[in-house]
Amino acid sequence: MCAKTKVYFGSIQQGHDAVFASLGAKMDKIIELLDFSTIEKGDKVAIKMHLGFQDGYQTVPVFFVRHVAKAVKDAGGWPFVTDNPTAVYNAVDRGYTAETCGCPIIPVSGVKDGDIHAIEVGYRNVESLDMGGVMHDADALIDLTHVKGHHCCCYGGAIKNIALGGYAATSRWHKIHGVEHSIPYWNSEKCSPEHAQALVKACPYNGLRYDEEKHRLTIVLPNCRNANCLECLEADKDVGCLEIKPEFFAAFQELMAIATKQVLETFDENKRFFLNYALQITPACDCLGMAQPIVVPEIGVLASRDIVAVEMATLDLIKEAGLIERAIPPYFKHTNPDPAKVLHPFQRLWGLMKNPYMVVEFAEQQGLGTREYKLVEVLSPEKTAKMKPPKHVYERQPSFY
Ligand code: SF4
């Protein structure tokens, strides 16, 4: 990797109300610069997406999926869209079909999550993970990601799309979501059942659960707003049986970097492409399966051959854009613990200890790329403003009136 990796950027902003200045044109330019020529004739090209669940339609628009699939075919590859079996099965509800995408849609791990490859991980309480067979067998990878917030790591981008979406459900839900519990946080001997119940009551986010029969208090880390909140610690100050540590949240992000590395290593370095759609940025993941308010202004599309660089650039642009204050849902009750501290928008939502930059740091440590990037804006508003607009014509394509 060179010191500063190029990240191509197409802004939603445009210098003219003309097709040449719009995001579709920028997308095609970005694909040209990303250069799919390293895809070989007949390569099976996995376009890994999050196809959403249920009512969660705020994913990568099928319009862009078609652009990518066509470009792969033009390069000689055989593209297919892939995601977990559940999302694939009902993808049609959100507009994704072979016809609309321009290529087949194949479950990442078989019909019932059985097409898997066990890989050794040896990280904390996770010995192995089951990688989806498609991730293992495909020849080239296009990581096509809808950027959004996330309960656990506060930011879901290209790394999360692979780290969780590239694995079978048992690995995703029980192992990666579960690594945080490898770090002790509760002293059962110091805590009476009554005190445990008081702690549960003190949490405004349903972040603590208590099993009286087993006398076990569990932190639901995805729900926990950690340093933005800490109301449980206030309730615990005279007993001191509970801890909320940054390490809980760091462990999840480190395991994401490790899981991503395992997937990426199954592909030739010249056959990995990363596109982040920083559009319709919701506070939580597409896994929620529902529509959510858009909490960050529309940004655009970013792309690179370096997963770390594209994530870093995306995070920086989100930071620059900030939160749309009026769009923050009322169930985020602690969003500004210290106005003097400049927090990333996703930290403001999900808690100071869920730092979105951790995952790129871990990914860099894993050798997946560099955080040093050069943003190359294509068809910038300044540039397109100087271009001569054509006479506006409606219905330029085959017309039916
Ligand atoms: S820090 Fe806040 S959100 Fe987290 S468990 Fe404690 S009370 Fe709940």
pLDDT digits (tens, 9 = 90+) for 76-96: 999 999 999 999 999 999 999
Write down the pLDDT at residue 372: 97
Q: Please, are residues 78 and 44 in contact by the beta-carbon 8 Å criterion?
A: yes
Report which ligand 1 atom has the smallest distance to the Cα of 244.
Answer: 1
Q: Which segments of the chain belong to CATH 3.30.70.20?
A: 184-244
Write down the pLDDT at residue 341: 80
CB of 10 closer than 6 angstroms to any ligand 1 atom: no
Query: Which residues, other chains included, contact 82 with Cβ-Cβ below 8 Å and sequence gap of 6+?
Result: 46, 47, 48, 49, 88, 105, 106, 107, 108, 132, 134, 138
Write down the pLDDT at residue 3: 65
Mutation probe of ligand 1 site: the residue of 221, 231, 241 with most atoms within 8 A of C-beta:
231
Phi, psi (degrees; rounded to nearest 5) at 79? -80, 155
Write down the pLDDT at residue 76: 98
CB of 242 closer than 6 angstroms to any ligand 1 atom: no
Q: Select the more confidently predicted residue: 72 or 180.
A: 72
Write down the pLDDT at residue 116: 97
Mutation probe of ligand 1 site: the residue of 217, 229, 241, 331 with most atoms within 8 A of C-beta:
229
Residues 185-204 have a mean pLDDT of 98
Q: Which segments of the chain belong to CATH 3.40.50?
A: 5-169+247-385
Q: Does this model's pTM top 0.85?
A: yes
pLDDT 10s digits, 8-38: 999 999 999 999 999 999 999 999 999 999 9
Judge whether residue 2 has pLDDT over 60: no
Average pLDDT, the chain: 95
CB of 231 closer than 6 angstroms to any ligand 1 atom: yes
Judge whether residue 1 has pLDDT over 50: no
Residues 98-122 have a mean pLDDT of 97
Query: Which residues, other chains included, contact 65 with Cβ-Cβ below 8 Å and sequence gap of 6+?
Result: 47, 49, 81, 96, 100, 101, 102, 144
Residues 178-201 have a mean pLDDT of 95
Which CATH topology does 5-169+247-385 take? Rossmann fold (3.40.50)
Class for the domain spanning 184-244: alpha beta
From the CA of 360, how far away is ligand 1's center (Å)?
26
